Amino acid sequence: MTLKPVVIVANYTLKELLKSKVLISAFVMSLGIALLAWLASEFTFGVPARVALDVGLAALSVSGYGIAVFMGVTLISREIESRTIYMVISRPISREAFLIGKMAGLSLFLMINLAVLGVAAVSVAWLLGLPPSWLVLCAFLASILECVILMLVVVLLSLGANTSLTVIFSLILLVAGHAIGETRNSLYVQLRPALGRVLDFFHYLFPGFYKFNLKDMVIYELVPPAGWLNSMFLYGICYATFLAVLICLVIRKKDFN
């Protein structure tokens, strides 16, 4: 598989997404962050900047989840419904190159959307007296990686299920991926080794989205343990690569008729 078809498809997908009105929501949410920050400065004492940053990071995550799920689920189905996929696979471009290009284009759009919200959140917090830090940048990169993994999960599920089931299963995996970290460490699970082994199995099989949640560290200026950030980013990159390879294997065998 050559890189040129992937770049062409990714560029076309990104331009198509930029023409949509989805990116406008990022600017609207940026204004919402500024408004909430102003309200925080009026009704909170001593920590309005941290409240503004917390709201901004939460809005960033929610926006990323929405794009990853609701645009990822139609990434291939829309091409099938418009019958564009049949023209593409009849040309000298592999299915894998086409799909990777589509996912790369959506990933770039995700990054642009999150960058707009990230800049808004950091700017408002800075105006309220909280200077940017390297941990904020790490939290931003972790959110991008989390949303890309979620998008890959959605695309993989969409190749074998309809739109409604894909959305439902994706949201279940997202919630479970955030909850499993606290659940495994709870006293209830520690007193039940059998349940702990079951959760360990799901923890290693499904994405651990809780690993990418750096909001508490950013807000409370907690220093992560040595090597923790490196292992988190390595986990995310390896899991995203695994999902991309799995998607390519599925798309190679999928019958679009």
- Tell me the pLDDT tens digit for each residue of 202-236: 878 888 898 898 887 887 777 788 788 899 999 99
pLDDT of residue 16: 83
Q: Can you give the pLDDT at residue 56? A: 80
Q: Are 122 and 137 in contact (CB under 8 A)?
A: no
Looking from the CA of 111 toward its CB, the CA atoms found within 13 Å total: 9
Rounded Cα distance, 49 and 112, in Å: 24
Q: Please tell me the predicted confidence (pLDDT) of residue 40.
A: 66
202 Cβ partners below 8 Å, 6+ apart?
176, 180
- The half-sphere exposure of 63 on its side-chain side, counting CA atoms within 13 A, is 29
- Give the Cα separation of 108 and 95 in Å (integer): 20
Domain housing 64: 3-253
104 pLDDT band, cuts 50/70/90, is very high
Q: What is the mean pLDDT of the chain?
A: 82
Rounded Cα–Cα distance for residues 91 and 149 (Å): 29
Q: What is the DSSP string of the chain?
A: --HHHHHHHHHHHHHHHHHSSHHHHHHHHHHHHHHHHHHHHHH-SS-HHHHHHHHHHHHHHHHHHHHHHHTTTTTTHHHHHTTHHHHHHTSSS-HHHHHHHHHHHHHHHHHHHHHHHHHHHHHHHHHTT----HHHHHHHHHHHHHHHHHHHHHHHHHTTS-HHHHHHHHHHHHHHHHHHHHHHTSHHHHT-HHHHHHHHHHHHHS--GGGG--HHHHHTTPPPPTTHHHHHHHHHHHHHHHHHHHHHHHHHH----
Maximum average pLDDT range among 15-19, 34-38, 173-177, 190-194:
173-177
pLDDT in tens, 174-202: 998 888 888 887 777 778 888 878 888 88
pLDDT of residue 257: 58
Handedness of CA 34, 40, 43, 48 (dihedral sign): negative
Q: Which of 74-83, 105-114, 173-182, 205-214 has the lowest mean pLDDT?
A: 74-83
Question: Across residues 144-163, what is the average pLDDT?
Answer: 90
Question: Do 38 and 51 contact (CB within 8 A), yes or no?
Answer: no
**48 near 40, Cβ under 8 Å?**
yes
Give me the pLDDT at residue 90, please.
59
Contact 168, 161 (CB under 8 A): no
Confidence at residue 6, expressed as pLDDT on a 0 to 100 scale: 83
pLDDT over 90 percentage in the chain: 22
Give the model's pLDDT for residue 122: 84
pTM over 0.85: yes
State the pLDDT at residue 158.
87
As given in the structure block, the two tokens for residue 230 are 């490196």
For the chain, the domain total comes to 1
